[in-house]
Copies of this chain bind each other. A is one copy, B any other.
């Protein structure tokens, strides 16, 4: 299944592109991979869709996020596969296929930053850039057993990246250990220095929302987190229900994606997976009234998260409500929506979230997430490192 040049099918097809570092720094000697949604000068940006690649010029400059990494000593070793136009959560791509999850090869890797997660999980790169609009870094982190961050919205320059829905789009990254995740953060993030977390909050509604085996598998990593931060307090995040938050995020995100991609769809008539075309058409079909109601819900969700976290508290929740589904399994729309019920908490409010990887007793990855206030990215990264150290 995987060729010698592309083990685990992490990279895009064709000759592997590499870019040497442009300077020296904290990342010297490290390698990284780049999701094929992010511009690397001289390399086509495929966006996971052959017609996207065909209808866009080869970029003549690096995305600022890539340029920073190169300037700080890292070597770019390849563009990675993605769900087409980032519209997917499992790692599916009808044009190019699904990468192999190194942590559990019979299971999906998660997406849409599938190849970046797989490249890191397989040890092919030290770290990798992805994007996260509705969960595209967090879900593959959880499924592949990686540390991964979706930063505060707006904290990492999104220039030179294929947009899905700019109000939610972020550039995130993956690493096998928390120290590496944090080191990359010192380069990419302009947010505040880490501060000491005030209180650990446990999202009861999110834990109840996950399958029983997830909640029990996360008991140990959660108590280790309590050892790092302090004794936890249970909270209900969404009094309206997580499904209501998810519904609002879906309306807003997919309306914006449909509006943004509309001219390209009309001009190109691209080949798309039937389900991707369907999602875009649903995005076009929402009424102004539906969008208006979703915007009000977003406002209330933002206020709620501010009330919970503005004092420096940290929220813990399962990253995904279940482990990576089997590749052979048809995943229902219901279960896809269950995933975004959890990712909508940080997504709708633009907050940073870090996945702390763990293993179920049978070795299959599960993920515990921490979410902090806007701009607390480096605090989350420091907590992740201390959490990792506490396990040694």
Q: Decide: B269 and A277 in contact? CB cutoff 8 A.
A: no
Q: Across the interface, name the chain B residue whose C-beta is closest to A278.
A: B281
Q: For A281, what are the chain B residues with a Cβ–Cβ distance below 8 Å?
A: 277-278, 281
Residue A265, interface by CB 8 Å: yes
Q: For A268, what are the chain B residues with a Cβ–Cβ distance below 8 Å?
A: 274
Q: Decide: A274 and B272 in contact? CB cutoff 8 A.
A: yes
Given contacts A278-B281, A281-B278, contact A269 B273 (CB under 8 A): yes
A108-131: CB near B (< 8 Å → 1, else 0) gives 000000000000000000000000
Residue A271, interface by CB 8 Å: yes
Which residues of A (226-285) have their CB < 8 Å from a CB of B? 265, 268-275, 277-278, 280-281
Q: Choose from B94, B275, B277 the contact partner of A274 (Cβ within 8 Å).
A: B277
Q: Decide: A265 and B274 in contact? CB cutoff 8 A.
A: yes
Q: For A94, what are the chain B residues with a Cβ–Cβ distance below 8 Å?
A: 51, 269-271
Q: Decide: B269 and A271 in contact? CB cutoff 8 A.
A: no
Interface residue range, chain A: 10 to 19
Q: For A280, what are the chain B residues with a Cβ–Cβ distance below 8 Å?
A: 274
Q: Decide: B269 and A275 in contact? CB cutoff 8 A.
A: yes
Q: Decide: B269 and A272 in contact? CB cutoff 8 A.
A: no
Q: A18 CB to closest chain B CB, in angstroms?
A: 30
Q: Across the interface, name the chain B residue whose C-beta is closest to A280.
A: B274
Q: Which of A95, A268, A272 has the most CB of B within 10 A?
A: A272
- Taken together as a complex, chains A and B put the C-alpha atoms of A351 and B280 apart, in Å, by 38
Q: Decide: B275 and A273 in contact? CB cutoff 8 A.
A: no
Q: Decide: A270 and B265 in contact? CB cutoff 8 A.
A: no
- Taken together as a complex, chains A and B put the C-alpha atoms of A275 and B277 apart, in Å, by 9
Q: Decide: A270 and B273 in contact? CB cutoff 8 A.
A: yes
Which residues of A (75-102) have their CB < 8 Å from a CB of B? 92, 94-95
Q: Decide: A274 and B278 in contact? CB cutoff 8 A.
A: no
Q: For A269, what are the chain B residues with a Cβ–Cβ distance below 8 Å?
A: 92, 94, 273-275
Q: For A51, what are the chain B residues with a Cβ–Cβ distance below 8 Å?
A: 94
Q: For A95, what are the chain B residues with a Cβ–Cβ distance below 8 Å?
A: 271
- Taken together as a complex, chains A and B put the C-alpha atoms of A265 and B276 apart, in Å, by 12
Q: A154 CB to closest chain B CB, in angstroms?
A: 31
15 other contacts beyond A272-B273, A277-B277, with CB at 8 A cut-off?
A92-B269, A94-B271, A95-B271, A265-B274, A269-B273, A269-B274, A269-B275, A270-B273, A271-B271, A271-B272, A271-B273, A271-B274, A274-B277, A274-B280, A277-B281
Binding site for B on A (CB under 8 A): 51, 92, 94-95, 265, 268-275, 277-278, 280-281
26 contacts between A and B (CB under 8 A): A51-B94, A92-B269, A94-B270, A94-B271, A95-B271, A265-B274, A268-B274, A269-B273, A269-B274, A269-B275, A270-B273, A270-B274, A271-B271, A271-B272, A271-B273, A271-B274, A272-B272, A272-B273, A272-B274, A272-B277, A274-B277, A277-B277, A277-B278, A277-B281, A278-B281, A281-B281
